Chain A
Amino acid sequence: MTEWIDVCGADDLQPDSGICALVEGRQVAIFYLPKEKALFAVGNYDPIGRANVLSRGMIGDLSGQPVVASPLYKQHFNLETGVCVEDAAVSVPVYPIRIENGRVEVGVGG
């Protein structure tokens, strides 16, 4: 069972950019693309740069897949699968995310 945890208001989201939320001890990077009304949540820890920084990376797409670029060494992580574009052996966790009644919720467990 996915448990939905309330993290912040929808107006706390940064358009075309990221924020970080603390979700039951996990650091979760949340990205928001207002034009396509898309929301993504992945782990904030960059396993290559070894620091909690992914929420501060730039987002965009590579060959159509939505990605975040690490601000440290610029590797890209697929926002849907968490897999690193440059090295498929490396990945970050991905989390379900939704907006309910103007609140942003991240799913854990399940």
Chain B
Amino acid sequence: MSTKQTIVVIGNGMVGQNFLAGLVSSGKHTDYDIVTFCEEPRAAYDRVHLSSFFSGKTAEDLSLVEEGFFERSGITLHLGDKAAHIDRAAKTVTSAKGAIIDYDKLVLATGSYPFVPPVPGHERPHCFVYRTIEDLEAITASAKDGKVGVVIGGGLLGLEAAKALTDLGLETHVVEFAPRLMAVQLDEAGGAMLRQKIEALGVAVHTGKNTSVIKDGDGCRHKMCFADGTELETDLILFSAGIRPRDELARASGLEMGPRGGIAIDNQCRTSDPDIYAIGECALWNGMIYGLVAPGYAMARTVVADLTGGEGSFTGADMSTKLKLMGVDVASIGDAHAKTPGAMVYTYQNGASEVYKRLVVSQDRKKLLGAVLVGDASGYGTLLQYCLNGIDLPENPDALILPSRSDESVGLGPDALPMSATICSCYNVTKGDICQSIDGGCTTIAGLKAETKASTGCGGCAALLKSVLNSELAKHGYEVNTDLCEHFPYTRQDLYNLIMVKQIRTFDELLEKYGKGRGCDICKPAVGSILSSYWNDYILKNEHVGLQDTNDTFLANMQKDGTYSVVPRITGGEIKPDMLIALGQVAKNYQLYTKITGGQRVDLFGARVDQLPSIWKDLIDAGFESGHAYGKSLRTVKSCVGSTWCRYGVDDSVGLAIELENRYKGLRSPHKLKFAVSGCTRECAEAQGKDVGVIATETGWNLYVCGNGGMKPRHADLFATGLDKETLIQLIDRFLIFYVRTADRLQRTSVWMENMEGGLDYLKSVIIDDRLGICEQLEQQMKYVIDTYQCEWKTTINDETRLKRFRHFINSDAQDDNVLFVEERGQFRPALENERKHFKLNVETEKETVTGEVE
């Protein structure tokens, strides 16, 4: 028998797991035997990001438990087993499966359940709640053969659920009992502005509606009848009418409860039984249930401190929130409803740009008490810091919400924050913690995330974290340098804008006006790429030729021995037998090593520079064109065989792949671009691993963006669903040019997306909703690029002066004697170092070749 005390944790949700992780990182977990009951079929996952399940995140992606965590820390996990009974006298917990565990300390982290109003008919099939991965799976299945969906409840979660339903392709309605949306967080005008914006996105909003019964529908599965006599037909109903604490176990064991439920706790998170703690959404502190994860984490830290002899107490938490609901920025801080006696209110409303802001300040106008922001929440970080840290307001507080018309800056710089200011409330990281990491040598956002966990929760603090980092680095004398290189004190995006606005056509002109020196292998290709995306000139024009990497100069990829590979375009991977024979014939004539690539085409290796033009001439005569394997440009559009042959195919994926590849071939971009089109959701073309992926569905094409294989694989995000081909192409046009314009050099779309402020929702608002009003321009630019496409190889072999470059020596027809081939498996490959010795042609240094002193 172990002499250690036993801690039992009931519930392995977000807070329960955070408690376990905290205990383990305190190092004191070895003092205890730890047992946890997890009712769900999987250990803790990130409920906050539950909705990303609909955009392709898997249960694994959402997991909050590092692999091997329980084993390593010696914690016993009872998975899929529910704690059924607590015997406080005997100090035991009995589970549904019959396990009986003695405890010394018990932690209740049972969370909450969604409240379903007892409307007659609420238990009908196709009525759901939104809390677990299983709920989402059931919703997805039900949405497959439904057309209309209703969310009951227009609060935070309800609106998030509504977004999920629209993403699933349903005509979506939100039904709210209160007279406005997000009644808890927003005032009337804010709620009205939010409603206007959400309706503009195609979601019907019905406020002031009391559902009296749900019965069989005429055209849909259900008919909802409202108290005012109106009706609404729908196939699917999602209840999101608030949460209720899961306090049934505690109640049955006689612990003290709040009048409306919730397990009462004190500042140490102890219940009325000193050996039992309650944390998270099941706990009631000072009459409050906190439906957010950050207060739950604060409670978990308190209990860890209490058990390990540390100091800590829970004294309430800030309920300020900032979210992007269906692409609309919404934020609420502190006393949003101006309930504090004497509070003064400032409001700013801009009907044209649909922005609403409200400030609540103290009677003496010195302190900020609360705020509401709809449509533009960029001021959230600053306002929150004023509020939380009691910082004195500027003389005219309204300047904080009025659009700034001059250069005067009213933002609160990170310097104005005290060291105690909480930067990340999810992980309780203060400015002091961050500064300490920076002092310790951590100088990147990624590093700070790893060290302090800041910004790894909801992500709401990312912008603030970055500004603290930059300001600290500047103070440490580091230059926060975003310059492209020593020749241009600008970012790639700046240079793009300069070229566009000043209509610059050459590198020299740009260098003369905005740079210095001669340029280098960083800025030259970057500028070369921008010039060709924008002007789409022939890349071997005299003024551009020096800008290209050797691969672009010789329109082929250099291999390790200085020879090149040849990759003709095979759109969609479809090839006529005659073309395949012709390709084989060329490979055979020039004795090129031949391989099928990972991009559904054929690569011919081992071509000497002087052979490239005649190889390409033969290929072009046979009907091939450049595959741009050398360029930062579109590589391939991979396809599966689709409806043409496959018994499951929903649409013609090969046809679409060919069309897309022909449309975008040659477009120069910050990095290479890969597409794929699958004919059904079995996804044989792996479209979700591509920069642009398209999948056929019964209702049209689904578009995915920003996927990546390679070094750091990333699943693509679902961007739009059920598209016809015309709309699909329009969205891809816009997406690509927006990427070309705004990405950093050599930044794949995946990394571009990861770094984008506002993420997927922002991108959608720009590309789908035209939030910046630039979509027409983007489309026009794409049209220009498409209209000016040329096969670079065709242009090159018809231009004598260009062909001059394609020889090894300017003054001799001799060949590079360092290129040596060896036969293997019936083809030629470069000789290895030891094989070269064998050939007695070791070219270690120039001298040896010249003097012939060969070993």
Contacts and interface: CB of A to CB of B under 8 A. Distances in A.
B520 interface: yes
A80 B548 CA distance: 23
Contacts of B554: 56
Contacts of B846: 26-27, 43, 45, 92-93
A20 B486 contact: no
Given A43-B846, A62-B486, A53 B558 contact: yes
A71 interface: yes
B562 A59 contact: no
Given A51-B561, A56-B553, A71-B549, A22 B809 contact: yes
Contacts of A19: 805, 810
A96 to B, nearest CB: 15
A81 interface: no
Interface stretch (B31-39, B468-476, B811-819): B811-819
Nearest to A12: B810
Given A27-B846, A56-B554, A22 B812 contact: yes
A46 B554 CA distance: 18
A33 B511 CA distance: 15
A10 to B, nearest CB: 12
Nearest to B562: A51
B521 interface: yes
Given A12-B804, A22-B812, A59 B518 contact: yes
A99 interface: no
Contact of A52 (B517, B521, B562): B562
Contacts of A47: 845
A60 B550 contact: no
Contacts of B520: 58, 60-62, 67, 69
Contacts, number: 115
Contact of B811 (A21, A49, A66, A76): A21
Contacts of B519: 60-61
Contacts of B811: 7-8, 21-22
Q: Which of A27, A61, A63 has the most CB of B within 10 A?
A: A27
Interface in A13-60: 14-17, 19-22, 24-27, 30, 33, 35, 43, 45, 47, 49-53, 56-60
B711 interface: no
A15 B540 CA distance: 12
Interface in B796-812: 804-805, 808-812
Interface residues of B, number: 44
B584 interface: no
Contact of A21 (B523, B548, B810): B810
A60 B521 contact: yes
Nearest to B561: A51
B546 A15 contact: yes
A64 interface: yes
B560 A17 contact: no
B562 A25 contact: no
B562 A53 contact: yes
A62 B561 CA distance: 27
Contacts of B819: 51-52
Interface residues of A, number: 44
Nearest to B808: A20
A26 B818 CA distance: 12
A61 B518 contact: yes
Contact of A60 (B524, B558, B560, B809): B524
A57 B547 CA distance: 10
B614 interface: no
B560 A51 contact: yes
A91 to B, nearest CB: 10
B90 to A, nearest CB: 70
Q: Which of B521, B812, B843 has the most CB of A within 10 A?
A: B521
B550 A27 contact: no
Nearest to B523: A60
Q: Which of B518, B525, B547, B551 has the most CB of A within 10 A?
A: B518
B345 interface: no
Nearest to B847: A93
A72 to B, nearest CB: 7
Contacts of B847: 93
A14 B550 contact: no
Given A8-B810, A19-B810, A56-B554, A69 B521 contact: yes
B545 interface: yes
B157 to A, nearest CB: 51
A63 B486 contact: yes
Nearest to A61: B518
B631 to A, nearest CB: 15
A45 B818 contact: yes
B849 interface: yes
B200 interface: no
A14 B547 CA distance: 12
B112 to A, nearest CB: 56
B501 interface: no
A53 B542 CA distance: 21
Interface in B381-432: none
Nearest to B818: A52
B141 interface: no
B850 interface: yes
Contacts of B545: 14-17
B518 A33 contact: yes
A49 B560 contact: yes
A70 B176 CA distance: 65
A46 B398 CA distance: 64
Contacts of A50: 833
Contacts of A7: 810-811
A32 B562 CA distance: 22
B517 A61 contact: yes
B521 A58 contact: yes
Contacts of B833: 50
A15 B542 contact: yes
Interface string B521-553: 101110000000000000000100111111101
Contacts of B548: 58
Given A45-B846, A59-B518, A61-B517, A22 B560 contact: no
A8 B508 CA distance: 26
Contacts of A17: 545-546, 553
Contact of B558 (A24, A35, A56): A56
A16 B561 contact: no
A52 B518 contact: no
Given A20-B808, A20-B810, A66 B550 contact: no
A7 to B, nearest CB: 5
Contacts of A33: 518
A9 to B, nearest CB: 9
B704 to A, nearest CB: 33
Contacts of B812: 21-22
Nearest to A93: B846
A20 B808 CA distance: 6
A76 B508 CA distance: 22
A49 B558 CA distance: 12
Contacts of A8: 810-811
Contacts of B525: 58
B845 to A, nearest CB: 8
Given A15-B546, A58-B520, A67-B520, A24 B850 contact: yes
Contacts of A60: 487, 517-521, 523-524
A64 B811 CA distance: 31
Interface in B816-852: 816, 818-819, 833, 843, 845-847, 849-850
Closest 5 interchain pairs by CB?
Answer: A16-B546, A60-B520, A71-B550, A51-B562, A69-B521
28 contacts: A15-B542, A17-B545, A17-B553, A19-B805, A19-B810, A20-B808, A20-B810, A22-B811, A25-B850, A27-B809, A27-B816, A27-B846, A35-B508, A47-B845, A51-B562, A51-B819, A56-B558, A58-B549, A59-B518, A60-B487, A60-B517, A60-B518, A60-B523, A66-B518, A67-B520, A69-B521, A71-B550, A71-B558
Given A17-B546, A27-B809, 8 more contacts: A15-B545, A26-B846, A45-B845, A58-B549, A58-B550, A61-B518, A63-B486, A71-B549
